Structure 1
Amino acid sequence: MHLILGLILFNCVISTALGNCPCSNPDLCKPVSKQYQKELVVFGGQSEWKSWNWTGITYIVARCDLNEANCQSLYCYAHSRHIRVANLVSVMPEDYEKLTNVSYRQQVTENWLAMVKNYSLDGININIEGQINTNKIRQGITKLTNEAFVALKALNSLYSYMGYSIQPFYFMVLIEYDIHVNLPVARANSPYSQVASGFQHYIKNFSLNPNHLAMATPWKVLGDKTAQSPCFHLKLNDTFHQLWFDNVKSLTIKYKFAVESGMHGLGMWKANNLNYTTTDPHIMKQTDDMWNAITAYKFML
């Protein structure tokens, strides 16, 4: 099963002295002190963020340019609602071998720290892309995340911690999509059976507490009973195509599983992918239904 881990380094919060505050009220660049027992993590942040259903959102991984006014407005608005904002940083397969080099890891960590300080972020989301096939690579990634933790903790004098301590990561986001890639035939992007078995793999093989895991599903009709995902067929230029997708019904099955499994939260990739500009009532209802489903289950966690 192909899973991408997003290790979210929460609690790495920066005081206003560390960066230039883009908000009209400088207090909005102070750390978000509110703590949440369960999370709704939103990946997104282009202009459509103003149309999101903000009910229940606790953490945003900004998928926008933090130097642009729109993204800065998102940051300020989120902080006004006591919602933390992080940025996504990736560890790509082509860089895996470099992780054995101490100097390389140090440079990566310094770049992450500079970004956190410059933009007064609440943390970073470390996106581990691709499969980890060797102990050497696994050790390199482990060292990188640990060293990032140590480096962030070393900045204690510049932080305002609101009485709680840094941890290496607060929880991991299991990216439960793109499970079937590079295949000659179309299949479900996020089949329920493999989502469930992948989660159980983490619990049993790595002795993880379910409350340290969150599930991110795709937002991107004929249904498949096994995969519990919808699909449809079409004929284009005399060629038949099969397209798979997720909708409220298929996503609700996975949200329910997350609740019953005691997961820490929910998320999606990504909020930008819904239609916020249409005037078609049917499409507008679909957009509302997508948000209503995930927020409703977040409050059941």
Structure 2
Amino acid sequence: MEFSKICEVFGIFLLCSLLEVQCLVIEETVKESSDCPCSDPGLCDVIKTPPRKEVFGFWVGGSEWMKYDWNALTTVVMVGHYDAKMMCYAHSKGVRVTLLGNFPLANLSSVSDRNKWIIEKVAMAVDLHLDGINLDLENPIDASQAPLLTSFVDETTKAFHLSIPNSQVTFDAAWSSGCIDGRCYDYVGIAKSCDFLFVMSYDEQSQIFGPCIAMANSPYNKTAYGVEMFLKLGIPAKQLVLGVPWYGYDYKCNSLSKSNVCAIEHVPFRGVNCSDAAGKQINYGGLMQLLAKNATSGPLFNTTYLAPFFNYKDSKTDKMHQIWYDNPKSLTARYEYASKMKLRGVGMWNLDTLDYSDDPTAQDQTKAMWKAIGKYFLDGNEVF
């Protein structure tokens, strides 16, 4: 691997000289440790499938990955963990596997820091036989820093594409382009600089501007508004993957009205009095057990948000709680929307929230979550 080519892309030959020793160390590390761990050496090759409909999932280290519906996936991002067996298996199914990358935005103005980080990530991807990187940068920046972030994404993409042909570079975008949580990014420039955006259409109550009440994690009307904000900027639909939550929020109610309005604790976040930080995230498998065993209301459904919820009483505190979540019914509405808008695809955070146990009820629930995707994104062979 010729790291000098990365520097040539940036046009920063002096930097390469300054980092020459480090570049050589990385290069030698790759040479020494890049033996293929797969039984078939061909499975260590980068996936060469052209751009296609995407079903984009995140693996956070769970041990049940063999039970995923691999026929329903196109990309898996490894978050904080690496499993060579998973990489080999995913590649046998034609599924890309990528790194997760989080560069400290406070260092954007440092050319040397940016390039050192990029060189290290390229070397890591080569060493681990991965197919690219997903950039997850969620901190606030001001308008003056936005061009630096766009340049960083462009540099990363060029380095990966040059060093690892057919690699994929993606960027995690907020649910809307409107400076969500202080993320005033140049999404148009970023979309042009990478392969596509993964729109994180969840945690949409991180800033609650209205009444401090429990609400849907990914309300349909808000999710659609956010996607259309990106489209109005001129970002092509083929550059957008709709991310949906495979988890819910458990809120303790300060009070619960007869009409099921749950007043929540005031937890400020970035200048707003209330936020979803008043609740706690709960995996789909866990909340379905609560629904079956502890719900006092039975399953309820909000027709504005197109989202299910239920109430339960905590036996330890005797307090009422309300859980908002997404299930096959609500997710199907979002998959239909993504299909109607001709988006690149859909994805989920995260693949390990389902109950992959041998319990028959859990198995049915897990199969239903996977099956909901296939109707809209597994048929046909569209190439983008």
TM-score normalised according to structure 2 size: 0.66
Q: Tell me how far apart the structure 1 counterparts of residues 165 and 236 of structure 2 sit (CA, whole Å).
A: 28
**1:290 and 2:369 equivalent?**
yes
Per the TM alignment, residue 161 of structure 1 is displaced from its structure 2 partner at its CA by: 5.1
- Which segments of 5 or more consecutive residues in structure 2 lack a partner in the other structure? 1-29, 168-191, 248-298
Distance 1:288 1:161, change over 3 A: closer
Q: Tell me how far apart the structure 1 counterparts of residues 348 and 93 of structure 2 sit (CA, whole Å).
A: 20
Aligned mate of 1:28, from 31, 43, 58: 43
- Higher RCO (CA < 8 A, seq sep 6+): 1
Per the TM alignment, residue 47 of structure 1 is displaced from its structure 2 partner at its CA by: 1.5
Is the partner of 1:139 in helix, strand or coil?
helix
- Alignment-derived partner of residue 143 in structure 2: 135
- Alignment-derived partner of residue 326 in structure 2: 246
Distance 1:300 1:256, change over 3 A: farther
Is the partner of 2:147 in helix, strand or coil?
helix
Is the partner of 1:109 in helix, strand or coil?
helix
Q: Tell me how far apart the structure 2 counterparts of residues 210 and 296 of structure 1 sit (CA, whole Å).
A: 19
Return 188-197 or 146-155, whichever deviates more. Answer: 146-155
- Alignment-derived partner of residue 62 in structure 1: 78
Distance 1:249 1:210, change over 3 A: same
Contact 1:97 1:137 in 2 (8 A): no
Q: Tell me how far apart the structure 1 counterparts of residues 221 and 166 of structure 2 sit (CA, whole Å).
A: 41
Aligned mate of 1:271, from 342, 351, 365: 351
**1:223 and 2:301 equivalent?**
yes
- Alignment-derived partner of residue 87 in structure 1: 99
- Alignment-derived partner of residue 237 in structure 2: 210
Aligned mate of 1:196, from 213, 216, 224: 224
Per the TM alignment, residue 65 of structure 1 is displaced from its structure 2 partner at its CA by: 2.2
Per the TM alignment, residue 254 of structure 1 is displaced from its structure 2 partner at its CA by: 0.4
Alignment of 1:137-152 (within 5 A): 137-152=145-160
Q: Tell me how far apart the structure 1 counterparts of residues 110 and 143 of structure 2 sit (CA, whole Å).
A: 15
Q: Tell me how far apart the structure 1 counterparts of residues 37 and 193 of structure 2 sit (CA, whole Å).
A: 28
- Alignment-derived partner of residue 11 in structure 2: none
TM-score normalised according to structure 1 size: 0.83
- Alignment-derived partner of residue 111 in structure 1: 120
Identity level (%):
32
- Alignment-derived partner of residue 111 in structure 2: 102
Per the TM alignment, residue 64 of structure 1 is displaced from its structure 2 partner at its CA by: 5.4
Contact 1:116 1:122 in 2 (8 A): yes
Is the partner of 1:285 in helix, strand or coil?
helix
Per the TM alignment, residue 188 of structure 1 is displaced from its structure 2 partner at its CA by: 0.7
Is the partner of 1:55 in helix, strand or coil?
helix
Per the TM alignment, residue 264 of structure 1 is displaced from its structure 2 partner at its CA by: 0.4
Return 118-127 or 101-110, whichever deviates more. Answer: 101-110
Q: Tell me how far apart the structure 1 counterparts of residues 138 and 102 of structure 2 sit (CA, whole Å).
A: 7
- Alignment-derived partner of residue 233 in structure 1: 311
Distance 1:21 1:121, change over 3 A: same
Q: Superposition RMSD on alpha carbons, in Å?
A: 2.2
Distance 1:136 1:52, change over 3 A: same
Is the partner of 2:108 in helix, strand or coil?
helix
Is the partner of 2:102 in helix, strand or coil?
strand
Per the TM alignment, residue 182 of structure 1 is displaced from its structure 2 partner at its CA by: 5.8
Is the partner of 1:32 in helix, strand or coil?
coil
Q: Tell me how far apart the structure 1 counterparts of residues 351 and 158 of structure 2 sit (CA, whole Å).
A: 32
**1:46 and 2:57 equivalent?**
no
2:202 partner amino acid: Y
- Alignment-derived partner of residue 185 in structure 1: 213
Contact 1:38 1:298 in 2 (8 A): yes
- Alignment-derived partner of residue 86 in structure 2: 74
Per the TM alignment, residue 300 of structure 1 is displaced from its structure 2 partner at its CA by: 5.1
Contact 2:47 2:166 in 1 (8 A): no
Distance 1:168 1:122, change over 3 A: farther
Contact 1:22 1:72 in 2 (8 A): yes
2:151 partner amino acid: K
Contact 1:46 1:64 in 2 (8 A): no
Per the TM alignment, residue 97 of structure 1 is displaced from its structure 2 partner at its CA by: 2.7
Q: Tell me how far apart the structure 1 counterparts of residues 161 and 351 of structure 2 sit (CA, whole Å).
A: 31
**Could you list the per-position Cα deviations for residues 49-86 of structure 1 after superposition, in whole angstroms to 9, with x for gaps in the alignment?**
111112231111123522xxxx1111001111221111
Distance 1:257 1:51, change over 3 A: same
